[in-house]
Amino acid sequence: MKVLLSGNEAISRGAYEANVSVATAYPGTPSTEILETIRQYPEIKAQWAPNEKVALEVAIGASLGGARSLVAMKHVGLNVAADPFLTLSYTGVGGGLVLVSADDPGMHSSQNEQDNRHYARLAKVPLLEPANSQEAKDFVGIALQISEQFDTPVMLRTTTRISHSKSLVELGERRWSAQVPFEKDPAKWVMVPAHAKFRHLFVEARLEDLAEWIWRSGLNTYEFNDRSIGIITSGVAYQYVKEALPEASILKLGIAYPLCPKQIRIFANEVEKLYVVEELDPFLEEQIRMLGIEVIGKEIIPKTGELSTEIVRKAFYPEDYELFTDRPKPLPKRPPVLCAGCPHRASIYGLKRLGIRVTGDIGCYTLGALPPLSGIDSCVCMGASIGMAEGLTLADPKYAGNTVAVIGDSTFLHTGIQGLLDAVYNKARITVVILDNRTTAMTGHQDHPGTGVTLSGERTKAVNLSKLVEALGVEFVAVVDPLNQEKFKATVEEALAFDGPAVVISRHPCILKVRKKQDPYYIDPAQCTGCHACIQIGCPAISVAGCHNAINQASCIGCGLCVQICPEGAIKKVGEASA
Ligand SMILES: Cc1ncc(C[n+]2csc(CCOP(=O)(O)OP(=O)(O)O)c2C)c(N)n1
């Protein structure tokens, strides 16, 4: 049976068919739906981890126990999981282990567009790159076979276009595979130097064996057409090449690391001019050049952003514009905004009123950095806000006592705890505001250890954030609802005045999660002076209407933040009489 599946759904199906029995992840676009859809297969024990490092470690343990396991993450997640990953390459596996890295060229929803193919080379592990959903499904099974045959973790790298676009997939049955029982084998599993140096030799030999095996694997395919142009490509770039240059000869790499030199040489000899078309870094290009083969790549193909059929066509035929003249006009830009009624707006606005420095983190609240709120001064990676706030106070003592780190609940549990531990240990005079909206909102409302619900929807222990931060040694801990602006401001001021690290838990559930709409507000034109104070909170329900402002009552969810901001008392509940 054929069905239409996104790359992520296809990976889940591939895990099911390939007898994966443990799947773990921390959410991150564009990878999130892999675990969200894998939970439909009761045969697979699937669970969220608090971060990618733990997710991988759980998968490694499952592999040690002989189970086939899959771990999924967005590209930057592998930075967090890099420590176990690089040594996992040495230990190898018990049951097959596949790590899905979902990269995001073009940064649709990421803070950088790092090219995770380099991780395969760094860890010296094989890297498969599907070019459509069928391959996304099939490659999971192939990755697990390679993993077990070569005693290696295998990376399956997708990019946003593969993860999120749908194409037809032929479904298969779940295939049984033997589970190797756990056996004590310190020389393989205990990576102390005396063992690791032998495993490093094994890793190098494994790469050579793999390069030889690729030749017969059928994963890389030649498509010979016009031999004046020969293109080596992989992943989604293959699709662009097929559309932009249907006449070209192609070597499509299903396995993009390691390369099989013999195969590359044969192709290079068969074509007049050799090109590499790849997104982001010259990953294949540089390795091909190292084989002494002349190749054109980044001279004509951009190193940044996503490719497209148009970009590839223009790279080869710069004069050729006709093909693309019938494109629709680009849509007007619609920058992302915090939802109407989002509690983060109240927290960020409340902090902005204090005129302090606010180091930020990653989550919906990062949008508070955009105008008109403009209330966050930094954003680097998950968990960075706390260490950075501490660093600011070290840069200049005048920042002590007036610097705040804002961090979401999911992010705090991901990698924020250690930053706070450091602040306590080193007596930093910072205030950490944990924006506790009881969910991982940015990636689509996934549960986490603070919500009390697992991936499968079962109830579980919910971590108590107040007790957790107290246990870390924080002596000022307060919980406040940011929609009560006066109380919020007073609490943060008290925290800032405290002589030591302080934590304010700004707690109000994500408005999309509770879906509770209260009576909306309206602006009474008789009282509105057009001062635009309400516009400064950046609520999408409020707009400028002539010399006054207006509230769109279909969008307003009645949170009441604007009421507290209006100096004229002009904002009233629908149904209240105008003055
Ligand atoms: C290492 C890493 N993993 C995953 C992500 C994707 N991601 C960005 S923010 C975020 C968590 C957001 O949750 P929270 O901190 O609770 O803030 P909210 O969006 O709920 O306001 C995730 C999973 C990322 N950017 N980096």
Residues whose beta carbon lies within 6 Å of some atom of ligand 1: 26-28, 52, 74, 76-77, 80, 344, 362-365, 382, 408-411, 435, 437, 439-443
How does the average pLDDT of the chain come out, rounded? 96
The answer to whether 525 and 571 have CB atoms below 8 angstroms apart is no
Q: Could you tell me the residue range of the domain that residue 531 belongs to?
A: 521-573
Q: If DSSP codes are grouped into helix, strand and coil, which group holds residue 64?
A: helix
325 band by pLDDT with thresholds 50, 70 and 90:
low
Alpha helices in 375-484 (DSSP H): 384-395, 409-411, 417-425, 465-471
Closest residue to atom 10 of ligand 1, CA basis:
363
| pLDDT at residue 504 in the model | 98
What pLDDT digit, counting tens, does each position of 415-450 carry?
999 999 999 999 999 999 999 999 999 999 999 999
| pLDDT at residue 324 in the model | 62
Distance of CA 5 to the CA centre of its chain: 21
pLDDT at residue 578 greater than cutoff 60: no
What CATH number should be reported for the domain holding residue 464?
3.40.50.970
What CATH number should be reported for the domain holding residue 296?
3.40.50.920
CA of 166 to the centre of ligand 1 (A): 25
Report how many domains make up the chain.
Answer: 4
Pair of tokens at residue 201: 């030799």
Residues 358 and 478 in one domain: yes
Pair of tokens at residue 185: 């084998």
Indicate whether 331 belongs to any domain.
Answer: no
Residue of 35, 411, 435, 510 with the most ligand 1 atoms within 8 Å of its CB, for mutation: 411
Residues 39 and 167 in one domain: yes
Residues 165 and 138 in one domain: yes
CA of 152 to the centre of ligand 1 (A): 30
What pLDDT digit, counting tens, does each position of 482-496 carry?
999 999 999 999 999
Indicate whether 164 belongs to any domain.
Answer: yes
Indicate whether 366 belongs to any domain.
Answer: yes
The DSSP symbol for 314 reads: H
Residues 18 and 130 in one domain: yes
What pLDDT digit, counting tens, does each position of 87-100 carry?
999 999 999 999 99
> What is the C-alpha to C-alpha distance for residues 376 and 369, in angstroms, rounded to an integer?
4
> What is the C-alpha to C-alpha distance for residues 73 and 80, in angstroms, rounded to an integer?
10
Q: Which of 311, 340, 319 is nearest to 239 (CA)?
A: 311
Q: Which of 483, 480, 486, 487 is nearest to 504 (CA)?
A: 480
Residues 32 and 153 in one domain: yes
Residues 241 and 312 in one domain: yes
Question: What value does the mean pLDDT take over residues 518-533?
Answer: 93
High-pLDDT (> 90) share of the chain, %: 92
What pLDDT digit, counting tens, does each position of 200-249 carry?
999 999 999 999 999 999 999 999 999 999 999 999 999 999 999 999 99
Indicate whether 330 belongs to any domain.
Answer: no
Question: What value does the mean pLDDT take over residues 466-493?
Answer: 98
Indicate whether 329 belongs to any domain.
Answer: no
The answer to whether 58 and 11 have CB atoms below 8 angstroms apart is no
Question: What value does the mean pLDDT take over residues 375-388?
Answer: 98
576 band by pLDDT with thresholds 50, 70 and 90:
confident
Closest residue to atom 7 of ligand 1, CA basis:
28
The answer to whether 264 and 290 have CB atoms below 8 angstroms apart is no
What CATH number should be reported for the domain holding residue 562?
3.30.70.20
Q: Which of 14, 25, 30, 12 is nearest to 75 (CA)?
A: 30
Residues 53 and 124 in one domain: yes
Residues 430 and 450 in one domain: yes
pLDDT at residue 131 greater than cutoff 80: yes
Question: What value does the mean pLDDT take over residues 259-266?
Answer: 97
| pLDDT at residue 322 in the model | 63
Write down which residue in 514, 530, 552 finishes a domain. Answer: 514
Residues 38 and 63 in one domain: yes
* Atom in ligand 1 nearest the alpha carbon of residue 415: 1
Pair of tokens at residue 509: 């559930």
